[in-house]
Structures are given as C-alpha cells and as structure tokens.
C-alpha cells in the first residue's frame, strides 16, 4: 500500500524541456506513504492525506500536476492544495474527478491549475498536455467504452429496437439520415446485433443501469440510493392496487371517490419511538434509509396529498380550484377558454 499515489508538479513557464517533447519541466515525484495507516470511513465522507514534496526552485509557479494511482481501486479526488510554495504561497487545484488505477490509462492523469487562458495565451509548456487531454476526452471512436474511460463522444440512436427478437422489434436508426438527421446520444460502442449490423445491442434490464456514462457524470452513491429507493417505492405503490384490481369488475377505472382515497390508505405502519429512530440512524445503507418512510406514512402506500391531509373534501372547493389555477397546477384539462365581454351580469347577484 505504500506509495499507492505518486504526484508530480508541472511548471507552465519557460524554459521548455526538449527531452520531454516541448513540455513543461516536471518536479520530482512525491508518494503518498500513509494510505495504509489512514483509516478511510466506509460510509459517506471525505479523507485528507498529506504528501511532502522536495521542491525545486527551477520549477517556479506550478501550472498542473500529474497523478498516478498504483492502488487496485479507484478513488474520487476532490482537491489538491500545495502549501508554502517558495515565492508563491498557496496553490489550490479543484479536481472533482475519479482516478482509476494506472493500468486503465495510457498516460498519467493531469490536473491543471484553476487559471483560465484564451487559446493564444496558453503557456507553451502546457499546450501538449492540454492537447493530449482533449484527445482523451474526444476518444478515437473505437472499442466498447468502459467505466474508467473519460470519453465524451456521440452516436446515432441505433439501440431503440431489438431486431434479434424478430422483425416486430426492429426500429429505425434515428440520426445520420435525410429522414432522421437528429438526434444524438452518448456513444457506448456496444457490439452490434446479430441480425442488423447497423443496430447496437441493448443491455439486459437488470444491468441497464450500467450503461456507459463518463464516471464523473454518473450519480454519486447518495443520489443513486435516492434514485433506486424512489424506484422501489413506485413499484411497491403500484403493485398493491394492481393486486386489488384483480378482484374488481372494472379494474382499469375508479368507480367512486372512495376508490381514489383507498390508494392512500393501508400500507404497513412502522413503529415509532426513540428505539426505532436509533435504528434508522445506524442503518449503513442509504438505499434502505430512503426506502423506509420517516414521516409516519405507511410502507407501500402512496403519500397523502397535502391538500386533503386536514380535510378529505378540501380538494373540491372553489377556493382550492382557484388556488391551484393561480399556482399553475391545472385542476382540470382546459381545452379552450372563451370570454364574452357582452354579458349582462347583475352586479347585485355576484357581489
């Protein structure tokens, strides 16, 4: 575990290193030596590590740094701060990127200083690194993209159908033709289907969340937990009414207002009290925390709308209809609204 990370600073100013291909001069590598002794929490949180650099005065102002991950797993690099740089003070790099093991990269990861340049103002020692970074992000259009790739490329919508199941499941390719010139989607380069080489194969439903998206753009673990929990809630809320509808002579419609209200009733009431609160606080998985209601609502039931929490008939009043109309919530589907200015309305009747 020792030396799992290696850092090298990069000087953006002259002189150039001819042996390095007109690139900026690199400082000596510095290694993270306390990864093993620093305990990283398993739950959501951040860890700070210290790295000691042997500073070379010839390096000057650091314009970027290179990082190599020799560990077997990836990590999320939020920021890097250089303290007490001789002659310059403090330098702060905002990274916000996942760094995978070095075996997944052809070149070392590079992060640039938080300083903007116009193209003609870019220091010459940084241009090679900038150009290489651009080529990495653009990709070469070859091979199936993996989770550690950082390619932002586009492709046609050629995965809308599944022609291998039969002609009824085939769909035209959207994009790249006179009839369907647009749109575009993120390129994944999955293998083509067996029956149509122009159509890209689709992922199975159970693994559909693993579709390629640049890792820095994917949901974090907390947001993904929210997403999955709300999905599970929606499925559970849908299943119960569907099972009850099997015994209904009109399963696809509500027979009365009472039928509408029943979807907000029932469910599994969870216990209340300090003991249950302690259990909720100590559940390690965010997915379970999000799936379990904490507002007193029953499990596997639709949440009661605010408008009828105090009065079950409040939704049908004229005041509520007017409030929803002004608030932008259309209580009815208005097809056309006509106003006649020639009506003889009795003032005493309506005031």
User: pLDDT for 14-29, tens place per residue?
Assistant: 444 444 555 667 777 8
The mean pLDDT value for 226-243 works out to 68
**Same domain, yes or no, for 75 and 180?**
no
pLDDT top residue among 85 and 337? 85
- Number of domains forming the structure of the chain: 3
pLDDT at 254 over 60: yes
Domain of residue 202, CATH code: 4.10.375.10
pLDDT digits (tens, 9 = 90+) for 108-163: 999 988 888 888 888 888 888 899 999 999 988 888 899 999 999 999 999 999 99
Give the structural domain span for 184.
Answer: 153-215
pLDDT at 279 over 60: no
Euclidean distance between CA atoms 141 and 203, whole angstroms: 20
Residue 337 lies in a domain: no
- Per residue in 282-294, pLDDT (tens digit) is 554 555 555 555 5
pLDDT, position 63? 83
* Percent residues over pLDDT 90 in the chain: 14
Whether residue 186 is contained in a domain is answered as yes
In this structure, are 238 and 207 located in the same domain?
A: no
Residues 255 and 192 placed together within one structural domain of the fold: no
Residues 126 and 172 in one domain: no
Lowest mean pLDDT among 39-43, 103-107, 285-289: 39-43
User: Residue 33 — very low, low, confident or very high, per pLDDT cuts 50/70/90?
Assistant: low
Residue 213 has pLDDT above 80, yes or no: yes
Average pLDDT, whole number, for the chain? 75
Residue 66: how many CA atoms within 13 Å on its side-chain side? 21
97 contacts 111 by C-beta, under 8 angstroms: yes
Least confident residue range of 54-58, 75-79, 195-199: 54-58
pLDDT of residue 281: 55
Which residue in this structure is represented by tokens 């310059």? 88
The predicted model scores a pTM of 0.65
- Residue 184 CB burial class (10 angstroms; 0-12, 13-18, ≥19): middle
Q: Does residue 43 sit in the same domain as residue 157?
A: no
pLDDT for 15 equals 44
Taking 70 as the threshold, does the pLDDT of residue 321 lie above it? yes
Contact between 151 and 143 (Cβ < 8 Å): no
The per-residue pLDDT for 150 is: 92
340, pLDDT greater than 80? no
Using an 8 Å Cβ cutoff, are 47 and 40 in contact? yes
Token pair of 247 as six digits: 């015994």
Q: What is the CATH number of the domain that holds 117?
A: 2.60.60.20
pLDDT score of 12 more than 60: no
């Amino acid at each position: 575990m020792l030396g799992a990370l290696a850092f090298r600073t990069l000087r953006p100013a002259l002189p150039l290193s001819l042996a390095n291909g007109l690139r900026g001069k690199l400082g000596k590598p510095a290694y993270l030596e306390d990864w093993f002794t620093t305990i990283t929490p398993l739950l959501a949180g951040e860890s700070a590590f210290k790295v000691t650099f042997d500073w070379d005065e010839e390096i000057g102002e650091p314009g970027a740094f290179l990082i190599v991950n020799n560990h077997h797993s990836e990590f999320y690099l939020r920021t890097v701060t250089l303290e007490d740089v001789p002659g310059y003070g403090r330098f702060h790099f905002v990274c916000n990127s996942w760094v995978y093991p070095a075996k997944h990269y052809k070149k070392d990861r590079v992060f640039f200083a938080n300083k903007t340049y116009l193209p003609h103002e870019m220091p010459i020692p940084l241009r090679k690194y900038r150009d290489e970074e651009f080529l990495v992000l653009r990709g070469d259009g070859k091979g199936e993209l993996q989770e550690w790739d950082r390619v932002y490329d586009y492709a046609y919508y050629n995965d809308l159908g599944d022609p291998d199941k039969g002609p009824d499941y085939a769909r035209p390719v959207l994009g790249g033709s006179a009839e369907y010139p647009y749109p575009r989607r993120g390129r994944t380069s999955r293998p083509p289907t067996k029956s149509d080489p122009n159509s890209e194969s689709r992922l199975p439903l159970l693994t559909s969340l693993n579709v390629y998206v640049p890792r820095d753009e994917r949901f974090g673990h907390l947001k993904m937990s929210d997403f999955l929990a709300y999905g599970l809630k929606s499925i559970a809320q849908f299943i119960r009414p569907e099972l009850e509808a099997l015994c209904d002579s009109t399963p696809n419609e509500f027979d009365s207002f009472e039928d509408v209200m029943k979807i907000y009733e029932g469910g599994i009431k969870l216990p209340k009290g300090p003991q249950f609160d302690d259990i909720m606080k100590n559940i390690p998985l965010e997915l379970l925390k999000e799936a379990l209601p904490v507002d007193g609502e029953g499990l596997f039931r639709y949440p009661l709308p605010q408008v009828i929490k105090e009065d079950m008939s409040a939704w049908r009043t004229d005041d509520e209809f007017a409030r929803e109309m002004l608030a932008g919530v259309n209580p009815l589907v208005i097809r056309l609204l006509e106003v006649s200015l020639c009506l003889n309305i009795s003032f005493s009747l309506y005031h």
